[in-house]
Amino acid sequence: MGDRATLLETGRFVQRDAGGAADGIEPVPDGTAGTTVREGSDTDPVDVEAADGAIADTLESAGAEERHRRAADAGDTASMSMLGALLLRRGDLDGAESYLRGATAEGDRAAANNLGVLLHQRGYPDEAAGWWRIAAVAGSAAAAHALGRHFRERGDEPAAEYWLRQSAEQGHALGAYALADLLEHRGDAGAERWLRAAAEQGHREAAYRLARTLELRAADETRPPARPGMLASAVGPGARPPAPGAPPPGAGVRPPGPGAGLSGPEPGPVDTAARLRLSTLDEAAQWYQQAAARGHRRAALHLGSILEKRGELKEAGRWYLSAAKDGETRAACALGFLLRDAGDEESAAIWWLRAAQEGDGNAANALGALHAARGQQQTAERWYRAAMTAGDVNGAYNLGLLCASQDRTQQAEQWYRQAAYTGHREASNALAVLLLQAGDAIGAEPWFSKAAEAGSVDAAFNLGILHAGRDDDRTALVWYERAAAAGHTEAALQVGIARLRDGDDLGAERHLRCAAGGGSTEAAFRLASLLDARQPPPGSPVLGEPMAEKTECEEWYARAAEQGHRRAQVRVGMLAASRGDMTDAARWYREAAEAGSRNGAFNLGLLLAREGNEREAALWWSRAARAGHGRAALRLALLAARRGELTEGQRWCARAVELGPAEVAERAARLREALHQELTA
């Protein structure tokens, strides 16, 4: 409960009928949703009630105190009560006690409550409770609130609930807040009702906690249900693409915030569930705004996060700035990220520095990443160490990344281990990769497993690679499937390949679509091949017939081809040629050939030869034959024979026989024999 110092510092007095309430002190940090606030701390002021609902401040007008003193000395009960309240507020406990006792003896309930406050400040809680009980029974909501807090401090929750409920039901804001806190501590659903009651009377901490409750509910309502084996089509598990100069993983994550907005479209009458979700989100944001407007810095932080997610960056920055100026280090850190994303790294560094100097490890990590990106390795290391000192394990992980980038492998391993021992999953994965690169597969596996069990998608994929290298395809597939279900593109590709190998075309298609949608070139090619195999072979183009539209498989081939997949480029060229689009076919064959595809070079040679350009065709066939293409060697042999270059023709025949395949080798052997006979004739 409040002591003298708290009363003097705050000056917060709740009047019985005034309709106002003192703001609750902010007792818990953000991120502790569900943690109850302990009423009765020395930062929560005890109510001083004025007689007959009058406001004690009126006593401070000129001459008012002296008139009340004369009246009190003459035995006027109301004056004794008012004067006692004024002296109590000033901290004059000796002067206040006689007037309060005198008024209490005459049955003044406000005096009885204030006498309880005075005795509590003097260290007589039991006697104070006796007077609070008298006042509460007489109808004092303030006294019922104080009595409820008294019982809660002693662990008597039933009695505490009874008196706090008496206070709350009379419209007392602090009583409603204290009752809500007690009910929330017990997990009672009725807590929200009383938080709302206190918030509606202007209690800023109640407004903040009500907003947190609504925000968490809205998040639960909008979170899609998990489905076993569900595949994501994104490259990763929903990570935001890093901005230029962004810190490495773990180097400074934005403080989490709610996803609501301050306002939204009027809900329509049709979709009731959507309307309720929208209403919940909007209401949470409105309560945050109310608390923030009354100086609640954590509410301002959350409000800024909401606005940032809605794209209202200017307003978000304003609330972040407000909270940061009030000393909220996470708001300063978030403001830094906002400025960095806007391209103002210098201003971002100023706010990160301010937050880091106040012990914010996230900001220290962000500063480290900023200096690392600028090549200032020593300064980066200093800030990463500062993050560790602040208790942010990401500092150790980032030090490991920094050392690894400088080939300081031994130091990197030490930092990774330090972070991994605290449960940092990405550090566990990085440590395992380091050990695997050093040839210690046995030492790497437990760290991969630890990281994967903690939710690292990369570690699950790496475990798949590890087991595949041991020819343990069954176990590898289990880990690939786990990573694929979390959205890992390459893992989805591996699962798709395994499904193809097992003859499960539908399962393969599903996984290949996921991987291809995530940007995997190989997956796009394999998906196209799978779809291509289901199509009937195209007929020869008919003169005058319109060019056929591209099929889905050709679209996937084209996507892979555009990303540089040589086999896809050759296949796109073949499909274009089958449609009669020789120009497009030649373009793709040439791209594949120039990238080193022997099939592309051979097909390009065929097109050029048909156009009469045998000279350039021979150049591409030569490149293909030197790369091991038997048919190209046979074509060169035929071309040489036609030109009468019999020795050159024999040389290419020998090469074709060597390369195959069988039918090519057979034809090349016959041609070589014919050339030999002609040479010896």
Which helix (H) or strand (E) segment is 211 a member of? helix 204-222
| pTM, entire model | 0.68
d(CA 70, CA 60): 15
Q: What is the pLDDT of residue 522?
A: 92
Alpha carbon distance 258, 491 (integer Å): 31
DSSP for residue 422: T
Q: What is the pLDDT of residue 50?
A: 55
Angle between helices 630-643 and 662-680 (to 10 degrees): 20
> Mean pLDDT for the chain?
81
The answer to whether residues 428 and 450 touch, using CB atoms and an 8 Å cutoff, is yes
The pLDDT tens digits of the residues spanning 641-653 come to 888 888 888 899 9
Report, as an integer, the average pLDDT of 5-32: 27
Q: What is the pLDDT of residues 415-467, one digit of tens each?
A: 999 999 999 999 999 999 999 999 999 999 999 999 999 999 999 999 999 99
**Residue 411 pLDDT class (50, 70, 90 cuts):** very high
From CA 248, how far away is CA 226, in angstroms rounded? 29
Average pLDDT on 229-252 reads 32
**Residue-level pLDDT at 129:** 94
Angle between helical axes of 630-643 and 598-610 (0-180°, round to 10): 30
Q: Helix H segments across 294-424?
A: 297-309, 313-325, 329-341, 345-357, 361-373, 377-389, 394-405, 409-421
**Tokens 């270059």 — which residue?**
645
Yes or no: say if 364 and 392 are a contact pair by the CB < 8 Å rule.
Answer: yes
For residue 545, count other CB atoms closer than 10 A to its CB. 10
278 has pLDDT over 60 = no
The alpha carbon of residue 452 and the mean position of all alpha carbons in its chain are separated, in whole angstroms, by 18
Confidence of residue 542 (pLDDT cuts 50, 70, 90): low
Sign, CA dihedral 455-459-465-471, equals: negative
If pLDDT is split at 50, 70 and 90, which confidence band does 36 have?
very low
CA atoms within 13 A on the CB side of 588: 27
Query: Which residue would you say has higher pLDDT here, 222 or 539?
Result: 222
Quick one: which of 680, 666, 609 has its CA closest to 642? Answer: 609
Cα separation, 80 vs 65, in Å, equals 11
Residue ranges of the domains in the chain? Answer: 4-200, 628-681
Q: For 614-670, write each residue's pLDDT tens digit.
A: 889 999 999 999 999 999 999 999 988 888 888 888 899 999 999 889 999 999 899
Q: For residues 677 and 505, which has the higher predicted lDDT (pLDDT)?
A: 505
Per-residue tokens: 620: 């591409």
Q: How many CB atoms lie within 10 A of CB 460?
A: 26
Q: What is the CATH number of domain 4-200?
A: 1.25.40.10
pLDDT at residue 533 in the model:
87
